[in-house]
Chain A
Amino acid sequence: GENVEQHPSTLSVQEGDSAVIKCTYSDSASNYFPWYKQELGKRPQLIIDIRSNVGEKKDQRIAVTLNKTAKHFSLHITETQPEDSAVYFCAASIAEYGNKLVFGAGTILRVKS
């Protein structure tokens, strides 16, 4: 089955710097790649997603890139702010397998002010 690896497990950046989180997936049939942000004690929130027919997607300070050949995708956060501090999860799913999400292990992002 699908396996998603996520790195780094923790990331500390200074406010205003950029943060990059990377994920790799194993099944080349994966076609949907969402990113979730989970603040302490709260539900995971979908912040951005990308489908396999697109190489890059941007939403204000957040962008996601996808390299299908290498089977990896990355989350980029620019001009980080303290409120960006949270756990970020990447995931992958395959339409033919019922769109079930397989999650990475998560990245704890700390933005220091």
Chain B
Amino acid sequence: SAVISQKPSRDICQRGTSLTIQCQVDSQVTMMFWYRQQPGQSLTLIATANQGSEATYESGFVIDKFPISRPNLTFSTLTVSNMSPEDSSIYLCSVGDRGPDTQYFGPGTRLTVL
């Protein structure tokens, strides 16, 4: 399967600031997704990162808060804007590999907002 990396692996940020998380894949993939995993919780899809067009956001997530870029088939960024302590979570990217539905996850970015 594809090798997926994320940067940073963790960060501690002040409220009101923004953080951009990068997701890099070692091969071209069609589908890329961003998920949030709040402490002790399950995974929730934030958006589908579409190459060459605007991301598709799930209910409860908006572009102004979580802008996403997907400049090519191997890279995507998620920005968490104007952060508050409630944004403290693990943010994971996933890619569709070996077929349109199979998803593999990156190592995640652990974000703490003070």
Contacts and interface: CB of A to CB of B under 8 A. Distances in A.
Interface of A: 1, 31-32, 34, 36, 42-46, 49, 51, 89, 93, 95, 98-106
A34 B103 contact: yes
A95 B100 contact: yes
A43 B42 contact: no
Interface string B93-112: 01010001111111110000
Nearest to B48: A98
Contacts of B108: 43
Contact of B42 (A49, A98, A103): A103
A100 B108 CA distance: 18
A98 B31 CA distance: 9
Contacts of B31: 98-99
Nearest to B43: A103
Contacts, number: 52
A100 B33 contact: yes
A43 to B, nearest CB: 4
10 contacts: A31-B101, A43-B106, A43-B107, A49-B102, A95-B100, A98-B56, A99-B31, A100-B58, A101-B43, A106-B41
Contacts of A49: 102
B92 interface: yes
Interface residues of B, number: 23
B101 A99 contact: yes
B43 A46 contact: no
Contacts of A36: 105
A33 to B, nearest CB: 10
B45 interface: yes
Interface string B40-55: 0111110010000000
The interface centre, meaning the residue of A46, A93, A95 with most chain B CB atoms within 10 A of its CB, is: A46
B96 A99 contact: yes
Contacts of A105: 41-42
Contacts of B58: 100
B96 A43 contact: no
Contacts of B45: 100-102
Contacts of A45: 105
